[in-house]
Amino acid sequence: MTLPSPSDSLTARAEAALDWAMTTPGACNAVRFRGSDDPARLGWAQVFRILEEDGLMGVRMLSRDHLPELEATLAERGYRMEFWNVFTGAAQRVVAACDRVLAGPPPEGLTPVPEARRADAAFLEALRAMMSENGIVPFSSAMLAGRVGGPSALAALQDRAGRIAACAFAYFPHNRHSPHAHTAWGGLVAVDPAFRGRGLGTRVNAMMLRKAIADMGAGAIYELVSEGNTPSRRMVEGCGLTLDPDLVSGIATRGEGRYLR
């Protein structure tokens, strides 16, 4: 059982709150819904207002030292946490690993999607459809195009007909008040089933991480992997990220299912 996917209204509400997310101590941009990287600093009144309005809230890069307080405070109001493991990497280590991945022969018949296509509405629609078809809840077209949310990086591969074979995305979730202000998030990795079995997930992930560092200026990057998702763990580790046992990310919710993607 999974939790319901975030609705368009939740995403619209989160985008309307971008200024709040990027200026408020303890807040962060979780994109699909409102989020926090320090709920206690944000203030429990705001946390529970968001939970009451939205039904869930993203929690990013929380120190495990703060986890008991968070879970106890949420439980008092009938909420709980769902978690992902956090894999992190400093820029230098990630670049070295990604360069090794990208040094291999390019996938036959596939080429990187030009940056200019991010402004193409039809391309963005196809990209979001491909993500949805492969179990990924897509970000909005505005976010994927880089029109909102600050600096971001989209990496994608396409065949000769322009069909999207694989994609990945990065952006900066955390504001200047956060210790993670210069750390980018990477994710939305999807591979069309017709192109699987060729290592494209790792390759497009490496492309995305490389762009996050070179184009966005990220000093470090993190990706989130659910417990037991061995293929995703191998992919991020192959790109220079390692499990950070001191950090957790997840969703505060009242639901009984698990929001996986």
For the chain, which residues make up each domain, given as ranges?
Answer: 8-253
Single pTM value for the model: 0.94
Residue 178 has pLDDT above 90, yes or no: yes
Residue 2's pLDDT band (cuts 50, 70, 90): very low
Cα radius of gyration rounded to whole Å, the chain: 18
Residue 139's pLDDT band (cuts 50, 70, 90): very high
Residues of the chain above pLDDT 70, percent: 95
What mean pLDDT do residues 131-142 have? 96
The Cα–Cα gap between 207 and 215 comes to: 11
Longest dimension (CA), the chain: 56
Half-sphere exposure of 101 (CA within 13 A, CB side): 26
Return the SS3 of 107.
coil
Q: Would you state the pLDDT for residue 8?
A: 79
What mean pLDDT do residues 232-246 have? 98
* The token pair that represents 70 in the structure block: 């968070």
Identify the CATH number of the domain defined by range 8-253: 3.40.630.30
Residue 161 has pLDDT above 80, yes or no: yes
* The token pair that represents 247 in the structure block: 């950090």
User: Is the separation of the CB atoms in 129 and 123 below 8 Å?
Assistant: no
Instruction: Give how far the C-alpha of residue 187 lies from the chain's centroid of Cα atoms, to the nearest Å.
Output: 4
Return the SS3 of 237.
helix
- Tens of pLDDT, residue by residue over 57-81, are 999 999 999 999 999 999 999 999 9
The C-alpha angle with vertex 229 and arms to 201 and 21, in degrees rounded to 5, equals 80
Mean pLDDT of the chain: 95
Residue 257 has pLDDT above 80, yes or no: no
From 95, 61, 60, select the one nearest 215 (Cα to Cα): 95
Q: Would you state the pLDDT for residue 4?
A: 40
Virtual torsion, Cα 218, 188, 38, 180, nearest 10 deg:
-10
